Structure 1
């Protein structure tokens, strides 16, 4: 299928008047701007001085992972004849901080709650989750394990 290209514009908005004169002189706020889409105000992880009311890079990565998984799940479920009527997830990323403050994700747990119509093959509905990492762009790109703890609910 060929290569894909994605673009984004990142702009720091945290200059409080002194620039980076010293570590506490600036805010960690920034924006993500993708042409034709709403701007997303962001900050750093609150543990590192960021604004807890804004998305941070870790939030964005975890959300991208869960969103990619969900979209592939819906696609593969529709191909398998499993009718999904609702899908929500409460993913968790587990990180560690090493020497010098360098951090990384060591694993992520996706916890989708999926509502399916009566008669759905629940064994197949579960099996779909384990095929997604073969195709999901984000899951194939991360260097940490992703676990799935799915819950299925029969509509009704």
Structure 2
């Protein structure tokens, strides 16, 4: 079943001269999806972007992590594994060619997951390996994604 996603990207970096020169405009924009909060963005700080704003690389890595998390929680619920907290600090490695073209070459998701006593830890860890087969974002990227989960028993 196909379905569409929509977004509106609006450039906000015109300082009054448009793109009359390479340094005459800001690389800033807003992402607006109907009914949702506007997300102000900028390009990568390595390219002069605003480090306080999300950039495309941040957004892609965050989307990959969030998709993985949502599937993990779903699979855990189905498996009878009670997750009480989930936090991820993913890291991705990028490569920039001499001409400036860049790409991600790998990503590692590093979720820290809290579970209840009595949890089958082997089963909890194995759930991660199933996610790449179903996660919309993971199935859409062309670089390897690995997982380095850590679990904490709470309660």
How many residues of Structure 1 are paired with residues of Structure 2 in the alignment?
Answer: 155
Match of 1:131 in 2: 130
**Quick one: distance in 1 between partners of 2:127 and 2:36?**
31
1:101 equivalenced with 2:100 (yes/no): yes
Match of 1:45 in 2: 44
1:6 equivalenced with 2:5 (yes/no): yes
The normalised TM-score by structure 2 is 0.99
**Quick one: distance in 2 between partners of 1:131 and 1:25?**
48
Q: Structure 1 residue 47: deviation in Å?
A: 1.0
Match of 1:81 in 2: 80
The normalised TM-score by structure 1 is 0.98
Question: Structure 1, residues 80-119: CA drift from partner, whole Å, max 9, x if none?
Answer: 0000000000001110001310000000010000000000
1:143 equivalenced with 2:111 (yes/no): no
Q: Which runs of 4+ in 1 moved over 4 A?
A: none
> Structure 2 stretches of 5 or more lacking a match?
none
Q: Structure 1 residue 49: deviation in Å?
A: 1.7
Q: Give the 3-state SS of the residue equivalent to 1:106 in structure 2.
A: strand
Question: Structure 1, residues 42-91: CA drift from partner, whole Å, max 9, x if none?
Answer: 00001112111100000000000000000000000000000000000000
**Quick one: distance in 1 between partners of 2:21 and 2:145?**
38
Match of 1:66 in 2: 65
**Quick one: distance in 1 between partners of 2:66 and 2:141?**
14
After TM superposition, the structure 1 = structure 2 runs for residues 103-118 of structure 1, keeping only pairs within 5 Å, are 103-118=102-117
Q: Structure 1 residue 29: deviation in Å?
A: 0.7
Cα RMSD (Å) of the superposition?
0.6
Q: Give the 3-state SS of the residue equivalent to 1:108 in structure 2.
A: strand
